Amino acid sequence: MEFYKLSAKEIADGVRGKKWTAKEVLTSFLTRIKTCDSKLNAVVTLCEKNAHEDAKKLDEAIARGETLGLLAGVPFLVKDNFCTDGIRTTCASKMLHDWIPSYDATAIKNMKMAGAILMGKTNMDEFAMGNTTESSIFGPTLNPRDLTRVPGGSSGGSAAAVAAGYCPIALGSDTGGSIRQPAAFCGVQGMKPSYGQISRYGIVGYVSSLDQIGPITRNINDMAIVMDVLAKADENDSTCDAYDRPSFSAAVKKTDLKGKKIAVLTGFDKECVDKSLLDAINTTVQFCCEAGAEIIEVNLPTANKHAVACYYMIALGDASSKLACYDGMRYGYHEDGKNLFEMYKKSRNKGFGNEVRRRILIGTCILTRGYYENYYVPAVKVRQMIADEYADLFKTVDALICPISPTLPYKKGYVEDDSATIYLRDVFTSTANLAGLPSISLNVGFTPEGLPTNIQLLGPRFDDENLLSIASVIENYAGSPSVADLSVEGVL
């Protein structure tokens, strides 16, 4: 049985219906990972023993006739910045290379309670700072759709794993596009839910006011099921809202967009966006029209022009503060020094990689006197202006369509001349984090060369179900992506 081609729902239905056992499913996925991952490098830690124990317990529960959760027997992987009880959590950094948490993140607990089986942890950019998954201490992950290209980042391991058929579901975190951009690069579906929708307890954060976690899947129906499992209040995370969530799965049953008004973003420099990605937007607009939606064009001048600068001021400032705890004493890699300050410096120098140290430096600079008043404080106000711009837009439209990334997946090792140019890659994704909006990266096809094309959908905050519904209708037209053909790439 080729389990790797099945959706999470098909696997769970089969386990519940006793067509196959959780153990059979798990063994099949673990074999695929072990066969393929020496080349892809998407998985950094496998927890086979725990996974087999969980599968055995699940099969015993089925034999006893117990009611099982929505994800019964579905194997999944998580980015290596989710705390996992008894399993190392490294953030792909030497700083945490041997850190073993003593508790599970709430998201992991909820997945396990729904019957999902944790197989391991996925590769990422160090401390989630990057968009290529090349800055990991475990080495770079390759894109399963084209091994000469990066999978995106920072959740590149999770996206590559789903595209490669290692699992039907992986979880990632998204501070400025880190779920959506790798999902786009690897040709799968990724969602950053609204800020406050899912508990982040147990996530090694990067920027508390921007971070959100979410699912990466190969179809929107699976994504909605994961949202049903993860989106709930949590007494351990005061930023997680306690409102009564609707059923996300029920929202993806619609087949048309009648009565929906969808905006298409304009006002950005189209010369800077790859033509195939602009074509993907035009094709999606046609789908939406055919499905009965009204389409309008909108310009969001503040977001278009200032989002990246605003995002980096806030992200880097907060990151320098957040990562101060990794000093070789309270947390992290330790080097001896002749006094406290030398010990701090030695530990942080050797524990952090180049990009992390660079971001801490810029962030510290932004928070010092003069720079704080001139850059950080205005950025917090510009953030409100961007949030207001979106709030005004969503008074009259249901969703916004725009690109995810200006480019198709980059070639491995490609380096821009300066940081500012690299950071501009986040121009379309960072606004959803600044304004706390739900956003979906939706694969809508492939170029003749086999590279994925995609669009981004954004909606009003806490209207995640409506966004999933629209994404589901578009997916019905475009088709959901299949597993990457690893034999073509010489991986199998």
Indicate which residues carry an active-site annotation: 79, 154, 178
CB count within 10 Å of CB 29 equals 25
Shortest Cβ 247–other proteins spacing (Å): 17
Written as six digits, the tokens of 303 are: 């977001």
Residue 138 interacts with other proteins (CB under 8 A)? no
Considering only residues 24, 46, 56, 103, which one is a binding residue for other proteins as defined by CB under 8 A? Answer: 103
Shortest Cβ 236–other proteins spacing (Å): 7
CA distances to 122, 128, 385, 436 from 227, in Å: 20, 22, 29, 16
DSSP 55-115: HHHHHHHHHTT----TTTT-EEEEETTB-BTTB---TTSGGGTT---SS--HHHHHHHHTT
- Contacts of residue 232, defined as CB under 8 A and 6 or more positions apart, other chains included, come to 110, 199, 240, 245
Residue 97 interacts with other proteins (CB under 8 A)? no
Considering only residues 10, 46, 61, 331, which one is a binding residue for other proteins as defined by CB under 8 A? Answer: 331
In the complex with other proteins, which residue's Cβ is closer, 59 or 241? 241
Residue 196 interacts with other proteins (CB under 8 A)? yes
Shortest Cβ 416–other proteins spacing (Å): 10
Q: Are 265 and 401 in contact (CB under 8 A)?
A: yes
In the complex with other proteins, which residue's Cβ is closer, 158 or 430? 430
Helix (H) or strand (E) run with residue 265 in it: strand 261-266
SS (H, E, C) 456-489: EEECCCCCHHHHHHHHHHHHHHHCCCCCCCCCCC
Question: Residue 158's closest CA among 127, 130, 189?
Answer: 189
Considering only residues 185, 333, 390, 394, which one is a binding residue for other proteins as defined by CB under 8 A? Answer: 333
In the complex with other proteins, which residue's Cβ is closer, 20 or 372? 372
Residue 332 interacts with other proteins (CB under 8 A)? yes
Considering only residues 15, 360, 399, 401, which one is a binding residue for other proteins as defined by CB under 8 A? Answer: 360
Residue 365 interacts with other proteins (CB under 8 A)? yes
In the complex with other proteins, which residue's Cβ is closer, 391 or 488? 391
DSSP state of 194: -
CB count within 10 Å of CB 336 equals 9
In the complex with other proteins, which residue's Cβ is closer, 93 or 472? 93
Question: Residue 409's closest CA among 218, 141, 210, 204?
Answer: 141
Sheet containing strand 452-458, edge to edge, reads 43-46, 117-122, 75-79, 169-174, 212-217, 189-192, 439-446, 452-458, 399-402, 261-266, 294-299
Residues within window 423-482 making contact with other proteins, judged by CB under 8 A: 423-424, 436, 462
Which region among 171-179, 185-193, 239-247, 451-459 touches other proteins (by CB under 8 A)? 239-247
Instruction: State the amino acid at position 151 in one-letter form.
Output: P
DSSP state of 443: E
Residue 243 interacts with other proteins (CB under 8 A)? yes
Q: Is the peptide bond before 487 cis (omega within 30 degrees of 0)?
A: no
Number of residues forming the site for other proteins (CB under 8 A): 81
Residue 344 interacts with other proteins (CB under 8 A)? yes
Considering only residues 10, 13, 48, 237, which one is a binding residue for other proteins as defined by CB under 8 A? Answer: 237
Residues within window 366-425 making contact with other proteins, judged by CB under 8 A: 368, 370-371, 374-375, 377-385, 387, 418-420, 423-424
Residue 327 interacts with other proteins (CB under 8 A)? yes
In the complex with other proteins, which residue's Cβ is closer, 307 or 455? 307
Which region among 73-81, 161-169, 298-306, 483-491 touches other proteins (by CB under 8 A)? 298-306
Residue 49 interacts with other proteins (CB under 8 A)? no
